[in-house]
Amino acid sequence: MSDLTDFEAIVAVQPHLVMTPLQAMFAEAEEELTAERPEGFEIHEIVERALFHLPEAEREAAKRELYVVYWEARIADEEALAQSDELQAQRRELRRLLGRFEDLTGAGSSVPYALLADIARLSLPLMGTAS
């Protein structure tokens, strides 16, 4: 039998359940604003309310946490944009190859295996079925 309580066992398995003070204040502010204005509110209102109610002793750590989250989001945005650019290039190439396929089949010509392989290579990732 374990010496851990049920709560401690859950937290030990699910470490993401442990919130920083800033995360707790954001969650509380969001709950309050949702109850006060179910029709909606601006994101900055959550931030302002959370930071206003955050104890002074926690503010320096909260600022550091916000900086880290900001930079992580910025990097994620840059990576998503790069991936989007890559996917756009793949789509253009696929359209070109499909046009060539259509020209060949429309003229009654045989389709080279390499063309079919290139079409498949580009199609699968764009369809989300390839790794």
Cα–Cα dist 23/101, whole Å: 54
Cα–Cα dist 74/8, whole Å: 34
**Is the pLDDT score of 4 beyond 70?**
no
Q: Is the pTM of this model over 0.85?
A: no
Cα–Cα dist 45/34, whole Å: 11
Reported as half-sphere exposure (CB side, CA atoms, 13 A), residue 61 has a value of 9
Q: What is the pLDDT of residues 93-130, one digit of tens each?
A: 999 999 999 999 999 999 999 999 999 988 887 787 54
